[in-house]
Amino acid sequence: MTPGAQARTLALPENASAHGHRIDALMASSHLLEAVLAAVMLGWLVLAVGRFRRAPPTAVDGGTRRSRLWVMGLAVVAVGVVDGTLFVRSLGYLDEVLWNFSTPVNHPDTVRLELNAHQWAWEARYAGEDGRFGTADDVVTWNDVRVPVGVPVWVQLVSSDVVHGFALPNFRVKLDAVPGRVNQTWFQAAREGVWEVACYQHCGTSHYKMRGELTVLSPRGYAAWLREASRQAAQAYDAADTAAHWGWAWRDAP
């Protein structure tokens, strides 16, 4: 199957990330609560129609203080339960995963990745064999992001023209690429495979073409690829080619 292709169903794209199930569970619980709420409201409507079909309600049946309190109370409870659950569980996800950069900071094998979004492609930069950005052996790829399975991938993202949206649908990752700032996120692949890198902000006439491949390799396969790509990059390095030197010094404290 080509990346991004999937059977036409209403289901979410297949989850290939170590934390994507938390987003899926959040959406599933929200949908369940909304379905319950919709069923209650529709049931209530049907009951009211049945009850008042022959004898329309009089002013005495509604508009009283008691009925207003009932309606207000139910509305507050419904919003509190549905949105409150979503809010609290979202905070948990942010604290434990999305904003928890201690995981990529502390993991010895974390892959650091600089991404440059531009009309209409994704450029990725790896530090290369020397582990430092901005040196001759930096590996730069075009619409071709490669990461190892099972380790954190720490992304720092910029845009060199307009606002783009970095999206890994199979990893439940979305991050704005904004000119003039470095945004950060991290994710971890749960298994090997080839997945889609998409742009989720309309960014110009060829926005629809702005897609790449995310290839998740075995740790050994990744190390072998990076070693060889880094060697070739060092050989092909041209100090005068300033357009190729768009990287930045890694920012360790997000």
Interface contacts to Cu ion, rule CB under 5 A: 164, 199, 203, 210
Tell the smallest beta-carbon distance from residue 163 to Cu ion (Å): 8
Question: Could you write out the DSSP letters of every residue in 134-160?
Answer: TSTT-EEEESEEEEETTSEEEEEEEES
Tell the smallest beta-carbon distance from residue 99 to Cu ion (Å): 24
Pick the closer one to Cu ion by CB: 151 or 199. 199
Question: Could you write out the DSSP letters of every residue in 22-60?
Answer: HHHHHHHHHHHHHHHHHHHHHHHHHHHHHHHSSS---TT
Cβ contact 246:116 at 8 Å: yes
Cβ contact 137:234 at 8 Å: yes
Pick the closer one to Cu ion by CB: 97 or 157. 157
Pick the closer one to Cu ion by CB: 149 or 199. 199
Pick the closer one to Cu ion by CB: 197 or 210. 210
Instruction: For residue 229, give both structure tokens.
Output: 């790509």
Tell the smallest beta-carbon distance from residue 166 to Cu ion (Å): 9
**Beta-ladder partners of 193:** 216
Cβ contact 216:224 at 8 Å: no
Pick the closer one to Cu ion by CB: 199 or 233. 199
Pick the closer one to Cu ion by CB: 68 or 202. 202
**Beta-ladder partners of 141:** 124
Owner of token pair 């954190």: 152
Tell the smallest beta-carbon distance from residue 45 to Cu ion (Å): 44
Tell the smallest beta-carbon distance from residue 174 to Cu ion (Å): 12
Question: What SS3 state is found at 18?
Answer: coil
Tell the smallest beta-carbon distance from residue 14 to Cu ion (Å): 23
